[in-house]
């Protein structure tokens, strides 16, 4: 299998490396009890799947991700006659980045919401992800393979194609999306975390969705909260300090 440049391979494998490196940093930080959104006891009792099983599940999804990425990049390379695509002007690259973010958010919102609305899809596909009631970093991509293929892999391919970004830009875009996804599932609220400051869609926002009372809300991922607000599935919350350390994201009842 020939590739015009190594950017195609980097765009396939770098985000996977980023996933394990970034989630590994959270593992090395330890329990971080003063910043947890749930206690360690909650994690041990509410999560019904072992961490070994989670690791295996993520590796399976990433295998599918690699296969689809290689097929996509091969198609793009052959469509361009094998010519190396030059990088556009910086402002064009930024615009492509933003377009890809909006496209990915749109795709994932509607596919994610569908997997909750459709009882068959939830029971047989999406419920696997929700076995982690208390999310943690390296469980971010613990999904049924079909969900991983539809939401993440196909969603990423559509974002890449519609935005028109080059494979080189894709390296940075998919790596950033990976960091964002891991961070949203880290289960911590860390003061000074720029992703928590710059994005309303963050670890506390997504934690609401993982709780029983929030499964019909906060579908948006991984960047913005726009679709939740537009379509009435936005659940506001307050972040309160928990006695004994840590934080708790508490839903704010919506006025009717």
Whether residue 148 lies inside any domain: the answer is yes
Tell whether 1 is covered by a domain. no
Please report whether residue 171 resides in a domain. Answer: yes
Beta pairing class for 237-241 and 247-251: antiparallel
Kindly state whether residue 119 falls inside one of the protein's structural domains: yes
User: pLDDT digit string (tens) for 119-132?
Assistant: 999 999 999 999 99
Question: Are residues 21 and 138 in contact, defined by beta-carbon separation less than 8 angstroms?
Answer: no
The full DSSP string for 159-226 is HHHHHT--HHHHHHHHHHHHHHHHHHTS-B--TT-HHHHH-SSSHHHHHHHHSGGGTTS----SS--H
pTM, two decimal places: 0.92
Residue 239 within any structural domain of the chain: yes
Encoded tokens for 148: 């991983």
Give the span between the Cα atoms of 175 and 177, in whole angstroms. Answer: 5
Say if 2 falls within a structural domain.
no
212: containing domain: 7-81+88-251
Does any domain span residue 235? yes
69, part of any domain: yes
Cα(41)–Cα(226) distance, integer angstroms: 34
Each residue's pLDDT tens digit, 145-199: 999 999 998 999 999 999 999 989 999 999 999 999 999 999 999 988 999 889 9
Number of domains in the chain: 1
Residues of the chain with pLDDT under 50: 1-5, 256
């Amino acid at each position: 299998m020939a590739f015009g440049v190594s950017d195609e391979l980097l765009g396939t494998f770098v985000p996977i490396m980023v996933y394990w490196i970034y989630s590994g940093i959270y593992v090395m930080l330890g329990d971080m009890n003063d910043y947890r959104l749930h206690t360690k006891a909650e994690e041990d009792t509410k999560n019904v799947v072992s961490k070994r099983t989670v690791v295996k599940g993520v590796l399976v999804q990433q295998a599918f991700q690699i296969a689809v990425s290689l097929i996509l990049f091969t198609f793009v390379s052959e469509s361009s006659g094998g010519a190396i695509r030059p990088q556009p002007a910086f402002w064009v690259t930024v615009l492509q980045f933003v377009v890809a973010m909006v496209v990915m958010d749109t795709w994932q919102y509607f596919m994610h919401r569908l997997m909750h609305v459709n009882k068959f899809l939830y029971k047989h596909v999406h419920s696997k992800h929700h076995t982690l009631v208390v999310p943690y970093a390296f469980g971010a991509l613990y999904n049924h393979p079909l969900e991983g293929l539809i939401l993440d892999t196909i969603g990423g391919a559509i974002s890449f194609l519609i935005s028109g970004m080059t494979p080189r830009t894709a390296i940075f875009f998919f790596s950033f999306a990976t960091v964002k996804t891991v961070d949203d599932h880290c289960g911590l609220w860390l003061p000074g975390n720029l992703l928590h400051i710059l994005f309303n869609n963050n670890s506390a926002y997504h934690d609401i969705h993982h709780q029983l009372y929030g499964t019909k809300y906060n579908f948006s991922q991984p960047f913005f909260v726009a679709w939740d607000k537009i379509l009435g599935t936005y659940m506001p919350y307050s972040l309160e300090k928990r006695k004994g350390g840590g934080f708790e994201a508490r839903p704010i009842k919506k006025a009717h």
